[in-house]
Structures are given as structure tokens and as C-alpha cells.
């Protein structure tokens, strides 16, 4: 399995429940972006970035640690107010208090120090800003495993 197999892309095969789960997250967040500056942190293939732009976000900064993800997002969101870049969630290259909404779906489980994403989100959010995030449910994704055991998904550091 290549790292891009971990990334959701509606043009590649995924079980229907995975597609529905991702689509529901993007639609939920898209209800909270109109006219705002959004950071799509760990944007993957840009599916969420596209949804946010189409929902009326003033601009979407779409960051991912993968150059391939940034390229995919650029292609998917061409001509929209989406600005993809390679960036580390633990060290965001943007000014403090400059973002209205940080969206980061299914990111924390990939990080060895997830608190750094929380710290960076708090730093870049404007006063009164919003963090919208999700993480896998360990009981669903790694049933029977303890919090200390390694998740079955080799791309996850924790769940």
C-alpha cells in the first residue's frame, strides 16, 4: 500500500462507507466557511478544499506534508480561491491570528506529537475562530486493541 492509498480520493476505489464518511465530514464543515479564510490542514487530494471553495469560502489555504497531495489539490481546485502548498501541520507557515476556520480531518492519528497540531491551530486562529477536526474511532478501526497497542493501519501512529 502506497501512502496515496491512505488519502481519500473519490476517483479511486474505496468502500461505500468510507466515501459516505468523508463526504459527510466535508459537507458538515462546508456549512461553516462562507466568506471566511479557511485552513484545510492535511488537505489530501483536495476534496474538502474544493467543497469549501464551492461553499463560498473567501479563500482556502490547502496544506499537506505531501507534494503529491498539493499537486492533486491544485489540479482539483484550479481557478478557485484555493492555495495549495506543502507544509507540516506542526509548523504552519502562516501568521498568527490569520485564519477563521481550521479544518483537519483524520490527521491526528498520523502524528507522533498531535499536540503540536492543536498548538498551531490555536496560534493561527483568529480570536473566536473554529477548529473542525475528526479522528478515527479506535473501537471501529482497531477493535480489541488497547490505547497502547499499534493500530492495524500502518500509516497511523495512534487512534
Between CA 5 and CA 7 the distance in angstroms is 5
Q: Is the dihedral of CA 60, 83, 65, 156 positive or negative?
A: positive
Which pLDDT does position 1 carry in this prediction?
39
Is the separation of the CB atoms in 131 and 39 below 8 Å? no
Residue 6 has pLDDT above 90, yes or no: no
Task: Report pLDDT digits (tens) over 50-74.
Answer: 999 999 999 999 999 999 999 999 9
Task: Report pLDDT digits (tens) over 20-58.
Answer: 677 888 999 999 999 999 999 999 999 999 999 999 999
Residue 4 has pLDDT above 70, yes or no: no
Does residue 95 or residue 11 have the better pLDDT? 95
Which pLDDT does position 155 carry in this prediction?
73
Cell representation of residue 156: 497511523
Output the CA–CA distances (angstroms, integers) from residue 26 to 20, 57, 157, in the order listed.
10, 13, 24
Tell me the pLDDT of the chain averaged across its residues. Answer: 86
Write b or e for each residue in 54-79: b if 16 or more Cβ atoms lie within 10 A of its Cβ, otherwise e.
ebebebbbbbbbbeebbebbbebbee
Between CA 159 and CA 157 the distance in angstroms is 7
Is the separation of the CB atoms in 159 and 136 below 8 Å? yes
Looking at 5-9, 47-51, 99-103, which range is the least confident one?
Answer: 5-9
Amino acid at each position: 500500500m502506497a501512502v496515496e492509498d491512505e488519502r481519500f480520493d473519490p476517483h479511486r476505489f474505496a468502500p461505500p462507507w468510507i466515501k459516505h464518511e468523508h463526504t459527510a465530514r466535508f459537507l458538515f464543515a462546508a456549512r461553516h466557511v462562507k466568506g471566511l479564510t479557511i485552513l484545510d490542514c492535511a488537505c489530501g487530494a483536495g476534496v474538502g478544499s474544493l467543497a469549501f471553495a464551492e461553499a463560498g469560502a473567501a479563500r482556502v489555504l490547502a496544506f499537506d506534508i505531501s507534494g503529491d497531495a498539493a499537486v492533486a489539490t491544485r489540479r482539483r481546485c484550479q481557478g478557485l480561491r484555493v492555495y495549495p502548498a506543502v507544509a507540516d501541520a506542526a509548523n504552519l507557515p502562516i501568521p498568527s491570528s490569520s485564519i477563521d476556520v481550521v479544518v483537519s480531518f483524520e490527521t491526528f492519528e498520523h502524528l507522533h506529537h498531535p499536540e503540536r497540531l492543536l498548538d498551531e491551530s490555536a496560534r493561527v486562529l483568529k480570536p473566536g475562530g473554529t477548529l473542525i477536526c475528526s479522528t478515527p474511532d479506535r473501537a471501529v478501526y482497531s477493535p480489541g486493541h488497547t490505547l497502547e497497542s499499534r493500530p492495524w493501519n500502518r500509516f497511523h501512529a495512534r487512534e
